[in-house]
Amino acid sequence: MAPLVVDLHQWGETEAGSLGNDVRLDRLASARGWNYIRPALAGPNNTPDACCSPAVTDGVRAAVDYAIAHGHVDQRAIYVVGISGGAYTALCSLHAGNIPVRRYIAWVPITDLEAWYDHHAFDHYGSDIRQCTGSGKGGLNVAEARRRSPMFMPLPAHMPAIHLYHGIRDGMVTSVSPDQSVAWFNRVALHSGHANQMMSDATRLDMLDRRIGPDQIAGRTVAGRRIHFDRQAGTTRLTLFEGDHEGFMVPTMAELDADYRTLVAPRPSPAARVLDAARDGARQIRAAVHDL
């Protein structure tokens, strides 16, 4: 038995290929002997059947069921990964709440189609959104865009672990502003009782203006890129890194691998736990005597 990695295709792509601006996700999963699937779903996001329709989220669930039926899946370790449009689909699957996913990893996700449309009304992404939402020549069907946006979907009763990554320079020339991730993270943080982890309005405006974050002086990195902002709100984490519209699968698999090891690490027996507690107590007594 081994984990399952579900690779969700990008906005305008299909099940062909695999994710990764560094190394392909399918190759990394295969090298570990893990199960892997990249479902077709509804194809590119330019029809009403796509763009997080029920058919899409049901398709993700069907792909998981297929992998379980035909693979050797440790059902405790189902992981969903997406970049850009795939990250958008991942978030929609999370909100649907019908898949027993242990952890999601979403790189440069789209969370609000209405806000995204404001930046792309006159390019092919804008055309795609209009086709997805059945919008006429008069402009965007806002109600339908919101219905298909994670930002406006009800949060699940149980929030699985999710890590959002976003390049802090995305949206300048590339397609998705990091504010898409920040807005969704702030919503989850507020709802889950972690308002102290939210990005403040002042920091948010400064980040969008100067493209730097408060954590960049710490020198921490992901995929060799400096981290500008890193916060955790319960099971939800947001990392803004030096970069634009990209996603890296080496750190993705390292994160999933580390998570899976917590599931399969042998647990000490009750007798061993008692012995460890006794040893800890003895050490504390010796330390107290030494301090007298």
Averaged pLDDT of the chain: 93
Q: Tell me the per-residue pLDDT of 145-189, one tens digit each, with 9 for 90 and over.
A: 999 999 999 999 999 999 999 999 999 989 999 999 999 999 999
| Whether the Cβ atoms of residue 105 and residue 162 lie closer than 8 Å to each other | yes
Instruction: Compare 273 and 123 and report the one with higher pLDDT.
Output: 123
Tokens of 12: 């305008």
Per-residue model confidence (pLDDT) at position 138:
77
CATH of the domain at 230: 3.40.50.1820
Task: For residues 230-242, give the mean pLDDT.
Answer: 98
Residue written as token pair 């709440």: 97
- Expressed as residue numbers, the domain containing 151 is 2-291
Confidence band for 291, pLDDT divided at 50, 70 and 90: low
Q: What separation in angstroms does the CA of 131 have from each of 121, 127, 136, 150?
A: 12, 6, 9, 18
Per-residue model confidence (pLDDT) at position 83:
97
Task: For residues 26-51, give the mean pLDDT.
Answer: 97
DSSP state of 20: -
How many domains does the structure of the chain reveal? 1
Q: Tell me the per-residue pLDDT of 215-233, one tens digit each, with 9 for 90 and over.
A: 887 889 999 999 999 999 9
CA distance 25 to 4: 12
CA distance 126 to 39: 25
| Share of residues in the chain with pLDDT > 70 (%) | 91
Task: For residues 192-216, give the mean pLDDT.
Answer: 94
Q: Which residues pair with 68 in a beta bridge?
A: none
